Chain A
Amino acid sequence: MQYRDVAFGWRVIDWIIDLGAKLRAEKLVRIRPYLMVAPAFILVSLLAIGIFYLGWLSIHSFDTFLFQQGPISAEQYKRLIEPPSGEFYMNTLSRTLVMSLLVTAVSMVLGLPAAYFIVRTPSRTMRVLVLVLLLVPFLMGEIVRTFAWFMILANRGALGWILGLFGIEDGGILGTPQGVFIGMLQVSVPLVALLVMPAVRRIDPNLERAAATLGASPARIWRHILIPLAWPGLAAAVVVVLLLNIAEYDMPAILGLGRLPFVANIIGDIYTLQQNLYLGSAFSLVLLVISSLMIMLPFILIRLYWIYFVARKT
């Protein structure tokens, strides 16, 4: 039997195997790991190039009359900090940070018990019910969800109507910090619960029972057993939720009625309304640096925890 009698399909497969054998030559084997990380590397490099470009733009002055780039200067950063415009930008920045931290803190307080309940409830029905309740609003799309809250929080919306039944008029909280806060919380709590759940699931329930027999009240079981053991999951949740909240755009725009803009809203305005790439780049970089520092904070805290509570000098 001649090789050419072999069915065409098998000849193709044999050819691919031959090709593969050639590609698997010594040298190629050595560089294969690098080939595999190449796409990720290229993506990250592109992002880095973008950030460098932002930095390059941010250190130039901008002539708003001629609408063209000026010489290298710290003008954009001065405008972010110094009066007369600086006050507005810094207020926006601090509003963003304070609100994000507050929302993150409250969503941790609410999300952790929710995760614990989902993991530990003996009833399958309750577990599925709570999971669905957490997930459905979380998955239904940002704009739909935000406008749903709009309907609830508006002056003549559901909240105002219910408050009206108790004789409180003008109950809408659209355009107030409370309104934005509630909207952001509703996204953050499910996220915290989902991120913390795997960490809670890894904790042996007998540890809690043992702690109880040893004299620990429920609050102290949380303090000494659950939170320390779930710590990695908690740190991850803090990082993710904090980042999402710092970059929040549509909650302040829609539920805040634009009266309480966050940094992201202002950067958008600078780019689209003022058409000032240079100032926008500077503000973007400031936000990037501050949020990076805030991400590192929980890791520093973990480090300190290990140094003071776990590692012990022998």
Chain B
Amino acid sequence: MSNTQSIEKDAETSRPVVKLSGVIKSYGSLNAIDNVDLEIRPRELFTLLGPSGSGKSTVLRAIAGLVSIDSGHVHIKGEDVLNVPTFKRNIGMVFQSLALFPHMSVFDNIAFPLRMRRIGRGEIVQKVAESLDIVRLPDIAQRKVHELSGGQQQRVALARALVYNPSLLLLDEPFGALDKRLREEMQLEIVRLHREIDVTIINVTHDQVEAMILSDRIGVMNHGKIVQVESGEDLYRRPKTKFVAEFLGRANCIDGTYRDNNGDPHVVTSAGAAFSVAGNSDVSDGLQCTAIIRAEDIELHEARTDDNGLTGIAAKVELRLFEGEAVYYELIVDGLKYPLRVASKTSRFSPGSEVWLAWRAEQVWLVKD
């Protein structure tokens, strides 16, 4: 379809497709979205990531106009859409339940948005065929919706949301209910579609792996607020808060006090154990902070190593699980409330044994408390 559709080139490519400023939506005393500011760039694949109840779906619905917002502004392509009803916003949306019309055939489902735009018969037939080609499902136009498999229904829902060339496609956890294999297949499908079609996509998910695979940028949400907006790798390596660190992958958060020690910075835990960290301008001497170390960055040794690049802490093995690609350990450290988690290559340490945990100082990321 990319060669036949009329691609609207934004004169100012930097102008955001969607801009939310100070958006608040509350249900009773609870703020479902709490003062959200967000800018989505043209042709971006953006993901809102957060635990359930964090308000990510409400943000999507506010953009679509399916919930009325209490205050703030939503701009789509520079236009304030506060008083524009959903059906005039010209956006595509795929719901978690897919919301295919059960009383219509596949053809009628995909033709529905075209009919709502009073497009002629010949063009409807041609466009439906094109969009079914795009989702790689030719020859099923006459089938009933309930005759299709889960994956086919997903593709039909995508085709229906794309057939009228919306400039913005919203995905409200459409892969949440799929099994793992189908979910990965559909994620790749989205990446492929995004490459082929000129469309900005906003995806909502609670699946951090999906978010990192798909997205150009990720906005992490918690309690109705956007915590951090960054590319997946930046979020993973340089989280701004403990919440973001713990939400993405396996992170160990060690609370302690930052000591500058005249250019040899250390973090000292409440039990007195100290390990060196890379310098950090955000944190000053004597301040409470949290050191974040990824589970896969920690090495296990029998005893303290002499390698100068390595720093570390003593621990005792509590739990060992074989996961296939790694061996997962939980280790008790004196003075820490929670066990540390390590994904290691070796399985030679059995529960109960004393070990030395080692990591490179520059792999520690410091977050202010």
Contact = CB atoms under 8 A, between A and B. Distances in A.
A206 B117 contact: no
A181 B287 CA distance: 81
B236 interface: no
Given A206-B95, A210-B99, A215-B117, A314 B142 contact: yes
Given A213-B64, A215-B90, A204 B112 contact: no
Interface string B162-189: 0010000010000000000000000000
A297 B266 CA distance: 86
B171 to A, nearest CB: 12
A204 B99 contact: yes
Interface residues of B, number: 28
B103 A212 contact: no
A214 interface: yes
A213 B163 CA distance: 13
Nearest to A212: B86
Contacts of A214: 87, 92, 112-113, 116, 160-161, 164
Interface in A215-263: 215-218, 220, 224-225, 228-229
A207 B98 CA distance: 9
Contacts of B91: 213
Contacts of B97: 204, 206
Contacts of A228: 103
A207 B112 CA distance: 12
A207 B99 contact: yes
Interface in B50-70: 64-66
A213 B116 contact: no
26 contacts: A204-B97, A206-B97, A206-B99, A207-B99, A209-B66, A210-B93, A210-B95, A211-B112, A212-B65, A213-B64, A213-B87, A213-B89, A213-B93, A213-B161, A214-B87, A214-B92, A214-B112, A214-B161, A215-B90, A215-B113, A215-B116, A216-B87, A216-B112, A217-B87, A218-B87, A229-B103
Contacts of B113: 214-215
Interface string B125-154: 000000000000000001000000000000
Contacts of A207: 99, 101
Nearest to B89: A213
Contact of A209 (B88, B99, B160): B99
A22 interface: no
Interface string B68-100: 000000000000000001111111110101010
Interface in A113-146: none
Main SS class of interface, A: helix
Contacts of A220: 116
A314 B147 CA distance: 15
A312 B117 contact: no
Nearest to A217: B87
B175 to A, nearest CB: 16
B131 to A, nearest CB: 13
A66 interface: no
B274 to A, nearest CB: 55
A299 to B, nearest CB: 18
B35 interface: no
A215 B164 contact: yes
Contacts of B363: none
A224 B102 CA distance: 12
Which of A209, A211, A215 lies at the interface centre, i.e. has the most chain B CB atoms within 10 A of its CB? A215
B85 to A, nearest CB: 8
A215 B87 contact: yes
A229 B103 CA distance: 7
Nearest to A208: B99
Contacts of B88: 215
Contacts of B92: 213-214
B105 interface: yes
Which 7 residue pairs across A and B have the least CB separation, nearest first?
A: A210-B99, A215-B116, A214-B113, A212-B86, A213-B93, A206-B99, A212-B87
Contacts of A300: none
A36 interface: no
Nearest to A122: B27
A244 B95 CA distance: 42
A220 B117 CA distance: 12
Contacts of A225: 101
Contacts of B117: 215
A220 B86 CA distance: 13
A151 B62 CA distance: 50
A226 to B, nearest CB: 11
Contacts of B95: 206, 209-210
A225 B116 CA distance: 12
A293 interface: no
Which of B66, B117, B161 lies at the interface centre, i.e. has the most chain A CB atoms within 10 A of its CB? B66
Which of B64, B95, B161 lies at the interface centre, i.e. has the most chain A CB atoms within 10 A of its CB? B95
A310 interface: yes
A211 B116 CA distance: 9
A64 B359 CA distance: 115
Nearest to A224: B112
Contacts of A204: 97, 99
Nearest to B103: A228
A213 B103 contact: no
Given A215-B113, A229-B103, 10 more contacts: A207-B101, A209-B66, A209-B86, A210-B99, A212-B87, A214-B92, A215-B116, A217-B85, A220-B116, A224-B112
Contacts of B64: 209, 213
Interface in B322-356: none
Contacts of A206: 95, 97, 99
Contacts of A314: 142
Contacts of B66: 209, 212-213
